[in-house]
Amino acid sequence: MEGYPLEASTKALALERPGSFDPVEAIKHGFLHFKREKFDKFPEFYEELAKGQNPKFMVFACSDSRVNPSHVLNFHPGDAFSFRNIANMVPPYDQPLACPSMEGYPLEASTKALALERPGSFDPVEAIKHGFLHFKREKFDKFPEFYEELAKGQNPKFMVFACSDSRVNPSHVLNFHPGDAFSFRNIANMVPPYDQTRYSGVGAALEYGVKHLGVGLYRCSELNCKTNLTVECILVFGHSLCGGIEGLMSLPADGSTSTSGCMSKLLQKQRCGSFTQSALLQTRKSKPHTNAINLSLGNRTTRFFDFAVIGSGVAGLRYALEVAKHGSVAVITKAEPHESNTNYAQGGVSAVLCPSDSVESHMRDTIVAGAHLCDEETVRVVCTEGPDRIRELIAMGASFDHGEDGNLHLAREGGHSHHRIVHAADMTGREIERALLEAVINDPNIHVFEHHFGIDLLTSQVVRFISKVTLLASGGAGHIYPSTTNPLVATGDGIAMAHRAQAVISNMEFVQFHPTALADEGLPIKPPKRRENAFLITEAVRGDGGILYNLGMERFMPLYDEREELAPRDVVARSIDDQLKKGNDKYVLLDISHKPREEILSHFPNIAAECLKYGLDITQDPIPVVPAAHYMCGGVRAGLQGETNVKGLYVAGEVACTGLHGANRLASNSLLEALVFARRAVQPSIDDMISSPETFHMIDEASDSWARPVVPSALKSSVVSDILRTTARVRRELQSIMWEYVGIVRSTTRLETAERRIKELEVEWETYLFERGWEPTMVGLEACEMRNVFCCAKLVVSSALARHESRGLHYTVDFPHLEESKRLPTIIFPCSSVNSTWSSRQLQKQPIC
């Protein structure tokens, strides 16, 4: 069971002992049999439960609720626990078969009840009719004609099966129109229990659908199925670790214990098409995820939307919510929707909300921090519109900290002359992400595709998303360095895709290293393994009075800048780097312990909890910190509406270079920029969508001329394993080159060395791939990420070599001074030439087909 979600273990325990299900025993069973890190968020809570302690509250959640103890009623650890899918863990006979008060229940509740009531003759059309007739009518207002047709016994063109971990409905899967498809959420749980002896989860659902609901010419009389549905395509969505792709690939075809066959043979036998796995759904095995299997008679892997959004951070979600009022939207995200840089942002959002503050003051702070390379018009737009964007978030349900006077509590961070940082303790990004995701999930026009990895823009893919307008909001490229505060998904995919699509790239030399990431080497208890991303110690700690010391307990910031600990990030990072080199140390110390304990724990609960896990009490001891790659100030060049030089392509967030940050980003301006530009890109996107002369059919036909990427299914598993190991080694080597030669302090010689070694390493890696049978059209997550990491690393190095001065985040010992004559952005045009000029603020759009 190790590595499985909690509900898998508790469900197994419930099925094993159906007459005596004990929740405390179940949670203990889960706790003892799981990887410990699954419960790092609530260690004391689960330990108490493991000892048999009774919780004060118990929370039951059906599959439609993504909850944990902190999500329900803001309980603290020890107060509550949640069983996801608890309804399905209870033995069927514990559930009433008759549901006289079904009115208002979700559709699956009725179909499930009907299936349990009549396990030998489950008729999907009868079930959906039962649900339609017994529910409140408004539940189906989104698809009234569709459900009415089904209620009359009409056959759908497509059938969709989904296990409980997939949030799907007919419009969420392939943007079907009413009448084309229907979805059985929790279909695996509607199958009579005795059908689950051979297959579990999605496997059971698929077998049940193929054998008992009828597919194509095949129908089964064993269970007296009344309706033979003529179905062209079956889509199966499921949890990879609970019956998803990995499970289906090894399922026996005939129900025997042999593993030589698989479900695909059963489907092929019934003329149901081929079994294919989308290359865009390559995912890391270490994490549970949602996968999709397409089984079709024709090409059903092209999906049409009015708007496509790549990325699920604040920029992508905010944009999606606005354009969804005017058309269908696909939000395509590489991992879980919450896994974005936004979710990891601690400090807050800067905005002028205090009477003593002013837009001019915010502008001045931004321009000074950006080493006077900022675009003044952009700065004015963002600082002026920022307060309204904050108010919109609050209206959507985002909860920020308030002071004793009832007004928003405004913090101050490095580089700011006033208190203007709106925050939710030290977890601001998480709160913003929560509010936006909640709104997105409830919007019927927005369709979220988790664990879809974008390969290229405007080219046909194994799974193609064709839209009239695309917003890139995919974040930065922190993982071109070995230590970064960014999540694993930050591999520069959006910048690399845009570069290949001939978009203009700008200011890539300005990589911001956050001065204070937690230094694991300095913790009393060392983490058991290397972190995937460095833990950020927010700027607000210094804003609240935190002091930096070297290991000799000497305060050093006054030696470097009159603003001391409140100097901009580039200054503080270089100062720490200098101290580390002088003392040959691995970290410095950040001390906030002189502040009242209650204040520290109130303002920085997340940091305090993280440090305490490793034996460090920040209310008594200093925090070991070290700089880590944090933010890309450069990216895809954008105009004031987020437009690029590529027709129909808009950008927002860290992937974009709007001119706001110049040579260095001011603290807490990143979320602000994302909010403002996501909103500004809406109207021109709508105009583009409406005025586009091309139909989806025309775009689809045009893209058919492109070579289609394929998964490396022809390669032996041992070869693929070797390729993955080698790719991981190459990635570590590239990161090491970037840190050693393209870090906080640079030189021309070191940059040239980096340029040469990166090119050699890339050729070596590509040669290795092709020698082992890797074709140019083959794609996989690790290989595509590696390609993007190489691309972004080369863009950073070439941009750095083009700037013959030290400005902001780019500091070179060969040109240590700022040159007024060089106060121009670095531009990489599609022809790959690098220039330090910019001819026009308004970008010329070039169609790319």
At residue 737, φ and ψ (nearest 5 deg) are -60, -45
600 CB neighbour count, 10 Å cutoff: 22
Question: 649-651 and 464-472 as β-strands: parallel, antiparallel, unpaired?
Answer: parallel
Cβ-contact 664, 695 below 8 angstroms:
no
Output the furthest CA–CA distance in the chain (Å, rounded). Answer: 85
The C-alpha atoms of residue 182 and residue 161 are separated, in whole angstroms, by 8
The C-alpha atoms of residue 280 and residue 241 are separated, in whole angstroms, by 18
Secondary element (H or E) of residue 468: strand 464-472
Classify residue 110 by its DSSP letter. Answer: H
20 CB neighbour count, 10 Å cutoff: 7
Query: Catalytic pick from 542, 569, 574, 680?
Result: 569
Classify residue 373 by its DSSP letter. Answer: -
The C-alpha atoms of residue 370 and residue 666 are separated, in whole angstroms, by 7
The C-alpha atoms of residue 585 and residue 344 are separated, in whole angstroms, by 27
The answer to whether the annotation marks 831 as part of a ligand binding site is no
Sign of CA dihedral 573, 575, 580, 581: positive
In sequence order, the 6+-apart residues with CB closer than 8 A to the CB of 236 are 161, 162, 202, 205, 206, 248, 292, 293, 295
The answer to whether the annotation marks 657 as part of a ligand binding site is no
The C-alpha atoms of residue 271 and residue 798 are separated, in whole angstroms, by 54
Rg of the chain (C-alpha set): 28
Classify residue 397 by its DSSP letter. Answer: T
In sequence order, the 6+-apart residues with CB closer than 8 A to the CB of 268 are 274, 275
| Nearest residue to 787 (alpha-carbon basis) of 752, 763, 804, 771 | 763
The answer to whether the annotation marks 239 as part of a ligand binding site is yes
The C-alpha atoms of residue 658 and residue 378 are separated, in whole angstroms, by 7
Contacts of the segment 554-560: beta carbons below 8 A, 24+ positions apart: 556/588
The C-alpha atoms of residue 734 and residue 481 are separated, in whole angstroms, by 8
Backbone conformation region of residue 659, classed left if phi is above 0, alpha if psi is from -120 to 50, else beta: left
Question: 329-332 and 302-310 as β-strands: parallel, antiparallel, unpaired?
Answer: parallel
Residue reference for tokens 């998303």 = 465
The C-alpha atoms of residue 245 and residue 292 are separated, in whole angstroms, by 7
Type of residue found at 688: D
Q: Which residues pair with 465 in a beta bridge?
A: 303
| Nearest residue to 843 (alpha-carbon basis) of 639, 660, 677, 651 | 639
The C-alpha atoms of residue 354 and residue 347 are separated, in whole angstroms, by 18
Buried/exposed code over 287-302 (b: 16+ C-beta within 10 A; e: otherwise): ebbbbbbbbbeeebbb
Q: Is 722 exposed, middle or buried (0-12, 13-18, 19+ CB in 10 A)?
A: middle
In Å, what is the CA distance from 216 to each residue of 168, 207, 271, 593?
23, 14, 7, 70
Classify residue 536 by its DSSP letter. Answer: B
The C-alpha atoms of residue 696 and residue 304 are separated, in whole angstroms, by 7
Q: Is 445 exposed, middle or buried (0-12, 13-18, 19+ CB in 10 A)?
A: buried
Residue reference for tokens 């070797």 = 722
| Nearest residue to 242 (alpha-carbon basis) of 64, 449, 34, 4 | 4
Q: Cα angle vertex 142, ends 141, 145, to 5°?
A: 75
The C-alpha atoms of residue 764 and residue 778 are separated, in whole angstroms, by 18
- Residue 569 is a catalytic residue: yes
**Residues with active-site annotation:** 569
Binding residues: 163, 165, 239, 242
